[in-house]
Amino acid sequence: MNEKIPLSVVVITKNEEARIAECLESVRWAAEIVVVDDVSTDKTVETAGRYTDRVFQRAMDVEGKHRNYAYSLASNEWVLSLDADERVTPELRDEIAELFQKGPACNGYAIPRKNFVGRTWARHGGMYPSAQLRLFRKDKFRYDELAEVHPQAYMPDPRGALKNDILHYTYRDFTDAIAKLDRQTDLEARKWFREGRKAGTLGILRKMIDRFWRAYFSKKGYKDGVIGLFLAVNSAMYQFLSFVKYWELKRAEHSAKHP
């Protein structure tokens, strides 16, 4: 494709020197690429600089605030939001090109994602199509800036949906998945603590069982074999670890108030 598509691809990175090149290679067709790096200690910035001169560094504080800042740097009206572990397929590129040739009729578009563990596509358990709002008008879209993890996205209708996929290399392997689970449940527990959420043992047990049942049985995660079982357990453990870390924060608060 010789003619650039008039949008800005905005990519968030953190120590992704091994994967950032493949991500940026998949979006060379965009009129602009913006990379916002969370103060990497590897060669992420150097590698990204081979694809664009729009590389910035900012320490991640709150995810929503960080992402909103990154989108504000885009020069174009339209933004395609990616992470370094994601790739745009040629089919999606062609679909976006056709959309812009006709003229987008919506404020934003959800895009399905193929989620991978290693190089294995997790087809079941709610892992596909796993569509997210990733293509949007910059002035119509924003994330909540309070939530420590999984911020809420806000955008007025109309909304659309694209058919072709982003490839999301979610976890390098099981060890990577466990490390991400640990980091994300730290943030989830802090969010619960900040909100003063009420959470009890029986309620968490019900949520754990529900999450596992839905992922493994209702959404047929068992069809993905060991990977499907792991992801279902991982989903249940997200609730449990968030709860025990939240309980620990509450206990520390109580101890500080009543030494």
Residues of the chain with pLDDT under 50: none
Question: Residue 70 and residue 50: Cα distance in Å, rounded?
Answer: 19
What pLDDT digit, counting tens, does each position of 63-119 carry? 999 999 999 999 999 999 999 999 999 999 999 999 999 999 999 999 999 999 999
Q: Which helix (H) or strand (E) holds 133?
A: strand 132-137
| Domains with residue ranges and CATH for the chain | 5-171 (3.90.550.10), 174-257 (no CATH)
Omega prior to 90 cis, within 30 of 0? no
Q: Which helix (H) or strand (E) holds 68?
A: helix 63-72
- For the entire predicted model, the pTM comes to 0.94
Q: What share of the chain is helix, strand, coil (3-state, %, to 5)?
A: 45, 25, 35
Question: What is the distance between the terminal CA atoms of the chain, rounded to a whole angstrom?
Answer: 67
What pLDDT digit, counting tens, does each position of 48-62 carry? 999 999 999 999 999
